[in-house]
Amino acid sequence: MIFEPELETLPNDRLRELQAERLAATVRYVSKRVPFYGETLSAAGVKHADMVPIEDLPTIPFTRKKDLVEHYPYGLLAVPKEEVVRVHASSGTTGKPTVVAYTAADMDLFARVVARCLALGGGQPGFTLHNAYGYGLFTGGLGLDAGGMRLGMAVVPASGGMTQRQVTLISDLRPEIISATPSYALTLAQELRSRGISPEENSLRYAVVGAEPWTEPMRVEIDATLGVRCTNIYGLSEIIGPGVANECIEERHGSHIQEDFFLPEVVDPQSGDPLEDGEEGVLVLTTLTKQALPLLRYWTGDITSLSHEPCSCGRTFARMSQIKGRTDDMIIIRGVNLYPTQIGDVLGLVRELSPHFKLVVSREGLLDEVEVRVEVTEEFFRAVSVDMLSDEVVEADHVLRSCRERTKTLLKDSLGVNAKVTLLAPGEGPRSEGGKLSRIEDHRNLN
Ligand code: DLL
């Protein structure tokens, strides 16, 4: 179902008009209310009284994470503090978190866009949503909660962690749909299996997963082990939280961006110049109706590309491809730029390997080394163990070596990277305990 069909299927010209009106209103709004924008816009020669035509969007300077950090906590607020009804924060890796604020109208928008996303991913009124995103300062838990209720679902606020209890809740409350990080969805699937509950037996049909980069091999694994069709949900605290975009269940090929509220661009990571559809670059988002913390041309750091191809689901909103990673997740191994998701995609080509992997980066002398630690599948592990036990140790060694060598060659041929490959037994690799999973262990001392 489409949650707001009259808006989500707007003809392109009407959508462009709506975006243009809202952009002009937002530019006027922020230049009057936020001193930071008043200054940056006039320095860039954008007069707040001007109608900023959408084609002139690139004349507006980018807003970056550092601007939020420098104005911590409330320096970019566009409303008096008394109008704020909620704050959230995203945990930066270092120093202070980024605090974001919402008015009552912003909270209403938050619930609406998440309700749209859940409907995109198969949610329906009357369903039960098992929400395994963390509740608290993170926008995931409370965001999915509000959206689930807005769509008319019964929300189970499971939050992250306490995996045993989650599995009991899933068995007893029989939710049709689940929301979680993709890595935690796999943890839950494994726990269900270890309790002897097969994918066909559990009640789940849909999963809305995101908040961290993930890959096609993970999609296959989540679908198979949870017995669902999973879709990608994308968002970030600075823009609203989850709810910026979601894949439709019909195509699962690119996430529809809620373009009537968030104006997307993809730009060149170096020059900042706008890129064409299909070209990969940094996603830049402008909020079009937000009150407390409107942002112009926010540099998300996330690498993706846009598509305006029509979609069989009937929605007219542009789609963004799966996020390859954040610009700051990129590692450079002997001159080769790499995102962990690229490694994950290649590992998916090797039959014996599971999607559970981690990269360990170190420096030997002047050269960077990368070790890929990846779990083998249960089936492969069992077969090799049988050989080991029946004294076919040489055969088992041979099979393991062949798997390692094939993986190494594939990584070299597809990505140009010389990696050490270490095979792990099932369960030895990284697992999410409920939140976002980090796939890089960096032992280089780069400072
Ligand atoms: O992760 C919001 C969210 C919650 C999205 C629940 C989806 C579901 P932050 O903690 O501020 O907000 O982190 C935002 O996470 O800039 C991306 O780098 C990454 N990210 C979010 N969704 C995806 C996704 C929430 N579907 C940052 N694929 C973003 C890849 C994602 N990366």
Rounded Cα gap, residues 144 and 134, in angstroms: 10
Q: How much of the chain exceeds pLDDT 70, in percent?
A: 98
Q: E strands within 248-308? A: 255-257, 262-267, 281-287, 298-304, 306-307
pLDDT at 30 over 90: yes
pLDDT at 403 over 60: yes
Tell me how far the alpha carbon of residue 244 lies from the centroid of ligand 1, in angstroms.
10
Nearest to 140 by CA among 230, 228, 235: 235
Domains of the chain in start order, with CATH, are 1-326 (3.40.50.12780), 331-442 (3.30.300.30)
Where on the phi/psi map is residue 213: left (φ > 0), alpha (ψ -120 to 50), or beta? Answer: beta
pLDDT at 119 over 70: yes
Tell me how far the alpha carbon of residue 195 lies from the centroid of ligand 1, in angstroms.
30
pLDDT at 182 over 60: yes
pLDDT at 447 over 80: no
Give residue 50's pLDDT.
62
Residues near ligand 1 (Cβ within 6 A): 90, 133, 138-140, 210-213, 232-237, 241-242, 300, 302, 323, 326
pLDDT at 149 over 60: yes
pLDDT at 49 over 60: no
pLDDT at 48 over 80: no
Nearest residue CA, atom 23 of ligand 1?
Answer: 211
Give residue 75's pLDDT.
97
Q: How much of the chain exceeds pLDDT 90, in percent?
A: 88
Where on the phi/psi map is residue 219: left (φ > 0), alpha (ψ -120 to 50), or beta? Answer: alpha
Mean of the pLDDT values across residues 114-136?
Answer: 98
pLDDT at 47 over 90: no
Neighbours of 256 (CB within 10 A): 23
Check: CB of residue 357 under 8 Å from CB of residue 376. Answer: no
At 266-300, the pLDDT tens digits run 999 999 999 999 999 999 999 999 999 999 999 99
Lowest mean pLDDT among 60-64, 339-343, 438-442: 438-442
The two structure tokens encoding residue 177: 């749909």
Rounded Cα gap, residues 63 and 237, in angstroms: 14
Task: With cut-offs at 50, 70 and 90, classify the pLDDT of residue 92.
Answer: low
At 18-28, the pLDDT tens digits run 999 999 999 99
Nearest residue CA, atom 12 of ligand 1?
Answer: 236
Q: E strands within 59-153? A: 86-90, 98-102, 128-131
pTM of the model: 0.96
Which of 323, 326, 436 should be mutated for ligand 1, with most atoms under 8 A from CB? 323
Give residue 388's pLDDT.
81
Mean of the pLDDT values across residues 44-67?
Answer: 85
Task: With cut-offs at 50, 70 and 90, classify the pLDDT of residue 148.
Answer: very high
Give residue 169's pLDDT.
98
Cα distances (angstroms) measured from residue 82 to each of 232, 240, 311: 35, 19, 43
Q: Coil, strand, or helix at residue 223?
A: helix
Mean model confidence pLDDT for the chain: 95
Tell me how far the alpha carbon of residue 260 lies from the centroid of ligand 1, in angstroms.
20
Rounded Cα gap, residues 363 and 433, in angstroms: 29
